[in-house]
Amino acid sequence: MSQMVQTLITGTLVGGLYAVFSLGLTLPWGLLRVLNFAHFAYVFLFAYITYELAAVHHLDPLVALAVTIPFGALLGIVTQALTSKASLDTFGTLIATFGLFLILQAAMSLYWTNDLVRIPLTDNPYFVRAWHVGPYTIPFVYACAFASAVVLCVGSYFLLERSYTGKAIRAAVQDPQIAAAFGVNRVRVSYLIAGVAGTSAAVAGGFLAMLFALTPSGAQGWVAVVFASVLLGGLGNPRGTLGAAIIVGVAEAMTQRYVDPTLAKLTPLALLIVMLLVRPTGLFRPAVRIGQT
């Protein structure tokens, strides 16, 4: 029984990491109709930067977040500026950002090589730190990731649903021209969303560096999990993404624990396929109902 609870705990916390990762993909996709495939490369880029800061310059990885987050926001904004200038449809953005993804991945491979790099324990003491509550272990880094997921996702939710800015954003997505007539500055609003997406990339990258060994081709391994969380959660729906990511995380942890670690990769895929067949709009409501994509 306690094994099951431990698995639930681990799965939920891992889901937090997935949520942070997925937020940067779902917000631009749902609200700005930009499918930014390069987001995967962004996360790894910030992971590598965190590694560089921690392993080479001996900066505390958590402190490194303070450095990477502003750059993340900036990167998000720049991406948005470029994609909006290119005026592509959603698919076009997918392909164009895919090209960007290839470029970034190769650049990372050039600089950091294909070797697996990991922040040494001496520079990353958080890795082994864990809280022991009764028979249960709560790893420190995962808990931090979960906390930031809650902050980012719930924060985005409040931004979108409760604030005036959020209403402006949703109006701009539903009908840009009328929204503009009402005084919504579409450009600024889009930069805000992109900034949040970029921030989530930086945060996710930071935690990735603290938890895993990095290699440029590792980005591919996250595609299934992230797309599953994004689609299950409803496009552009931050709370939905958090919930969906937790579901994916728990399902994966259960498979790893009770079935087979290598089959764990199949779980998000299976969820994704079932979801696409049964409820393509996701378990949760998408942020904005748009007729035709």
- The binding site for other proteins (CB under 8 A) comprises 3, 6, 10, 35, 86, 88, 90-92, 94-96, 98-107, 109-110, 113-116, 118, 121, 127-128, 130, 137, 139, 211-213, 215, 218, 220, 223-224, 227, 231, 253, 256-257, 260-266, 269-270, 272-273, 276-277, 280-281, 292-293
Query: Cβ closer to other proteins: 126 or 191?
Result: 126
Nearer to other proteins, 67 or 107 (CB): 107
Least distance to other proteins from the beta carbon of 257, Å? Answer: 6
What residues are paired with 117 via a beta bridge? 214
Quote the CA–CA distance of 27 and 87 in Å, as a whole number.
Answer: 18
The tokens for 144 are 């931090």
Q: CB of residue 209 vs other proteins: minimum separation in angstroms?
A: 12
Nearer to other proteins, 198 or 218 (CB): 218
Q: Cα–Cα distance between 46 and 258 in angstroms, integer?
A: 33
Residues 6+ apart with CB under 8 A from 163: none
Q: Which is nearer to other proteins, 23 or 119 (CB)?
A: 119
Pairwise CA distance, residues 243 & 239, whole Å: 6
Which CB, 52 or 92, lies closer to other proteins?
Answer: 92
Q: State the maximum Cα–Cα separation within the chain, in Å, rounded to a whole number.
A: 60
Nearer to other proteins, 25 or 193 (CB): 25
Task: Give the pair of three-digit tokens for residue 33.
Answer: 């109709």
Please state the closest distance from residue 90 (CB atom) to other proteins, in A: 6
Look-up: residue for tokens 């962004």? 42
**Shortest distance, position 106 Cβ to other proteins, whole Å:** 4
**CB-CB contact of 219 with 43 (8 Å):** yes
Residue 268 CA to residue 16 CA, distance in Å, equals 15
Q: Least distance to other proteins from the beta carbon of 142, Å?
A: 9
CB of 61 to other proteins, least distance (A): 16
Nearer to other proteins, 178 or 263 (CB): 263
CB of 138 to other proteins, least distance (A): 11
- The C-alpha angle 241, 244, 250, rounded to 5 degrees, equals 135
Work out the burial of residue 163: count CB atoms within 10 Å of its CB; fewer than 13 is exposed, 13-18 middle, 19 or more buried. exposed
